[in-house]
Structures are given as structure tokens and as C-alpha cells.
Amino acid sequence: MPRTKQTPRPPKPEFHHDELTTPLTKARRTSIQMPNLRRDEVYSALFILDKTPRAIIDEVIVKNRKHTGNYFFWLAEESFEALLPDHTDELIKPTIPADWLSPFVGKKTVEDAFRFIATLPLEARLDRQFIAVLDIRLYKEKDWLVIYRIDEQGEITSIPCKAELTCMQMRSYGNHNWPTFMDDWQRTGKPILR
């Protein structure tokens, strides 16, 4: 009987929103209890979970500003003081400092991102129900960011959105249209605001 040569497995790909284990169309149950899910907050979190050039992060932030009129993304990092009420209205302004590095790169998941948001002080002016994630591959290939939503029961769902309209989507249409957007995404595979 001939021996078959076993080929080595390819290296594990970089983190891409758990696509390999949980496709973007599937809801995920978690034990996360998110405090204060009200929708009147000023800023929306933008998480960078894999290595991404700063120029691309700047590009995404500037594109979104064109549609909202202000810099409403908070580039998620461990320091949250800028989210407190006594700070200025414009939280993020390009260009991102040359030494900036996301503390979430390569070692955090979307669930970790929501757990982190849940630990922020209640006075932080941040939308706790929706976060955006910049996946370099989805952005380069399709010009998408991914919007994740957590509900009162800790269930996380996600839908991609045209990159430049993500912040506007999170701020304007969000919660009441989410079931319709989810149905459309699962049925057609097309992102929000295509």
C-alpha cells in the first residue's frame, strides 16, 4: 500500500471577525451584560483588531466625516478619558500619531471589544450597542466595515456596511431598522447602504 505524503497545514490566518468559526450571518450568544444601551450617545467605537496601516485608518475616519459633518468615531484604545463629558466635541482628528497602535490587534475578539466597552464608566459618551470593526481585507476587497450590535440579552449580530457610510448608519438608522437589515444581509449577501 503506497504511503501518502501529508502536506503541512497552512498557517492560521490573522483574526478576521471569527469568520472561520462564526460566519458574519450567524448571531452569537454571549454572557455580556451591557449597561446603558441608550441610543443618544455622541461617539461610536471603531475597533482595529488586526494590523492595519495608519493611512488606511485615517482614510476611513475622513471618509466617514464627509457624511456626518464631524469626527464621531472613537478609535478604541485603553484610554477613555476623551469620552468623558468635559472634553471637546471633536474626539478624533487625522492624522493618527505615528506611534499609535491599537491594543486590540491580534489578541482580542469582537466579544472582547464588547466586554471592554461594558467596563467603561457610564458617563462615557459612547454608543454601547453598536461598534464598527475595520478588517483590512474586507476594506481593501469590498470597501466595507463591519457593524456589530449587542442586544439586551448579550446576543451579537453583525452586518457589513459601505465603509464611508458606517458612522452615519450607526448614528442614524441603527436599532429600529436592524432586523430588516439583518434579513436583507442574510437573504442577499449585500451590505447596508451599498
pLDDT of 150 reads 92
Least confident of 57-66, 76-85, 104-113: 76-85
pLDDT of 39 reads 60
User: What are the residues whose beta carbons fall under 8 Å from the beta carbon of 82, sequence distance 6 or more?
Assistant: 74, 91
Whole-model pTM: value is 0.81
Model confidence at 127: pLDDT above 80: yes
Q: What is the mean pLDDT of residues 81-89?
A: 61
pLDDT band at 43 (very low <50, low <70, confident <90, very high): confident
Domain coordinates of the chain in residue numbers?
A: 40-188
| 73 membership: H or E segment, kind and range | strand 73-75
The residue among 154, 152, 134 whose CA lies nearest residue 144 is: 134
Helix (H, G, I), strand (E, B) or coil at 133: strand
pLDDT of 148 reads 93
